[in-house]
Amino acid sequence: MIKTFTDEGRLANLFRILSFFPTFYELFHVTFTKLLKGSMGPLNRTWKSYIGLMVASEQQCQYLVSVMKIEFLYNGGDPNWLIGLDYVPTKLRNISALILKLARQPWRLNSDDISHLLAGGVLGDAWSRGELVQVTLIIGTFLGLSSFIMGCGIVPEIDM
């Protein structure tokens, strides 16, 4: 917890709850930090933050929406993207269908859904396999995290 406080400058409500499970907390913090803030993988921090924000919005998890909005802007994200999907690049907008399907009916995901994202349609809108793997990890992480947060009743901090 001390490392989290020194790294983040605060101890968020989520981390306070997770601190009741120290072993899980340590593993979660390392994994989450590498996934979202690490430089490994093809996606930049801005896109990773925005994808997390998209998932949190789909799940209607106000706590994560607040956290990810701050994270997105801190990483140099375009404030216009926060207005809605009409303001984001088409490539990123296309991932919203995957988020919706994984959030609501994951058993209906099929190879056509993945092929559509890999093909892209217009030049530059196609996702690479590496990007899609990273996106899927982010989506899965934020779907589970949203459920945990809402199940525990965690609310945004006053200053968010």
Question: 36 and 56 in contact (C-beta within 8 Å)?
Answer: no
| Token couple for 79 | 């404030």
Annotated catalytic residues are 61
Instruction: Give the CA distances from residue 131 to residues 17, 49, 59, 125, 154, in Å, rounded to whole numbers and listed in that order.
Output: 32, 14, 22, 12, 31
Reported residue count of the chain is 160
Between CA 16 and CA 143 the distance in angstroms is 20
